[in-house]
Amino acid sequence: MTRLILPYCLLLLLPAAAWADAPTGEPVRFPSIAAEGSPALSLRGTWSPADVQPGRGRAGAVVLMHGCNGPRVSSHRWARQLAAWGYGALVVDSFGPRKIHTVCGDPSRMPAHQRTGDAYGALLFLQSLRGVDPDRIVVIGWSHGGSAALWAVNKNWGPRFRPFPWVRFQAAAAFYPGCAPDHTAFMTPVLILMGGADTWAPSYPCTRMVKNHRQHGEEIQMVIYPGATHAFDSVRNTTEMLGHILEYDPGATEDAEAKVRALLAEYATR
């Protein structure tokens, strides 16, 4: 398959065994982007092309930013769902190339804002693919990756990692992120999805942030699901992690999927 490659986007195929957590998708490599647009660390990811009908043309795409445990089954479940909806999905592994297994107990090992260059490296890679519409790319993140997604579209932080003016996300969605006071302004529309019973990433910091942004006329939507915990969209048995309950909530998940799909229909569809 021939691909159009931009200067920073080198596609390399990996052995299947090198990406054990990815049951489907094409293993790829691409560079992260350091501040001020210079190339940085070589990242790996899993690319799932959109399931589209012939003749439809180029599809929109999504950059998926994993949580504090790295890419897991839930990341790839979302990638398959996005592909079925007609969007390409790139699951980015920020931790493996850095020899990090988890930051759940110690986020200082890699603060979320340090993953901004990973998001922009993934974006630039997607813009190089012939089957992707370069002007219809959205970033979505979960937990630590949700915070990373917000940093990527932060008006004061994100531009430091944009190597070219056309390298930009059209929108961002963040599942149960940690909202920081430094999120002073966003470059794109933002959707935030939180659990009302989440003790790991409580909703009130995001509620304060959203109120401030709306006062400045920014397009930001926040949904809080009563009774839902952290990782409410992860299909698994109820578990406890670092003192926090994580429980699948099918109702919240169904509504969150609908809202993400609506966001993509508006910003990732030609």
pLDDT 10s digits, 171-195: 999 999 999 776 678 999 999 999 9
Could you tell me which residues come within 8 angstroms of residue 224 by beta carbon, excluding any fewer than 6 positions away? 194, 195, 196, 203, 207
Give me the pLDDT at residue 57, please: 80
pLDDT for the residue 13: 32
pLDDT of residue 183: 66
Q: Does residue 89 contact residue 48 with C-beta atoms inside 8 Å?
A: yes
Alpha carbons within 13 A on the beta-carbon side of 89 = 26
Q: Which residues of the chain have pLDDT under 50?
A: 1-23
Q: Are 126 and 63 in contact (CB under 8 A)?
A: yes
User: What residue has token string 């079925």?
Assistant: 84
What's this model's pTM, rounded to 2 decimal places?
A: 0.89
Distances (CA, A) of 42 to 32, 33, 152, 268: 6, 9, 18, 26
Sequence spans of domains, the chain: 16-267
Six token digits for residue 212: 């401030």
Placement of tokens 């994100």 in the chain? 158
Q: What integer pLDDT is reported at residue 185 of this predicted model?
A: 86
Q: What is the pLDDT of residue 200?
A: 96
What percent helix, strand, coil does the chain show, rounded to 5? 30, 25, 45
Handedness of CA 206, 208, 213, 215 (dihedral sign): positive
Task: Please report how the helices 250-267 and 73-85 are oriented relative to each other, as an axis angle in degrees rounded to 10.
Answer: 50
Q: Which of 21, 14, 39 is nearest to 125 (CA)?
A: 39
- Architecture, CATH, for domain 16-267: 3-Layer(aba) Sandwich (3.40)
